């Protein structure tokens, strides 16, 4: 399948690797199908692009949260677990949306609303972390400030 992307032009993707967001994303509720594209051709970077299959300009830089915040926790409600068809915790991964800054070391990650993905079923949903207040704009390279209370 060919899709038009924000950062890479037209690319061929494996349809079986699509990620379904049954409810879309907040502010993009009609967008249901995305692909994770490597940010670098050699896949040496932890960053990926979450690209809409239908809207060229809808793409987010993301990374697996645990690569930068290994002690991060997000408790899911029974409804979220059921809607994502999660049977075991190992079937889930958490992605954080990155706001890229210049210089890159100033980039931030949204820990308050991670994307939870069932890696087996390829279902995903953005959830709001309620148990502990996590920052929406946590500095990606400074973990100690990630969980501080904030009004931003």
Interval 25-42: pLDDT, tens: 999 999 999 999 998 776
Is the backbone peptide bond immediately before 103 cis, with ω within 30 degrees of 0?
Answer: yes
For 45-54, how does the pLDDT look when each residue is reduced to its tens digit (9 = 90+)? 899 999 999 9
Q: Could you give the percent of the chain with pLDDT greater than 70?
A: 87
pTM equals: 0.86
Give the chain's domains with CATH numbers.
2-145 (2.30.290.10)
**DSSP per-residue codes, 41-67:** TT--SSEEEEEESS-TT-EEEEEEHHH
């Amino acid at each position: 399948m060919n899709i038009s992307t924000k950062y890479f032009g037209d690319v061929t993707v494996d349809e079986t690797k699509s990620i379904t967001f049954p409810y879309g994303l907040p502010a993009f509720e009609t967008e249901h199908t995305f692909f994770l594209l490597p940010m670098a051709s050699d896949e040496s970077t932890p960053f990926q692009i979450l690209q809409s299959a239908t809207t060229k300009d809808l793409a987010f830089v993301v990374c697996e949260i645990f690569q930068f915040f290994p002690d991060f926790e997000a408790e899911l409600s029974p409804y979220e677990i059921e809607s994502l068809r999660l049977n075991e915790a190992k079937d889930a991964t958490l992605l954080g949306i990155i706001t890229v800054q210049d210089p890159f070391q100033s980039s931030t990650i949204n820990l308050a609303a991670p994307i939870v993905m069932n890696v087996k079923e390829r279902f995903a949903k953005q959830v709001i972390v309620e148990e502990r207040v996590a920052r929406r704009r946590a500095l990606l390279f400074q973990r100690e400030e990630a969980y501080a209370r904030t009004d931003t």
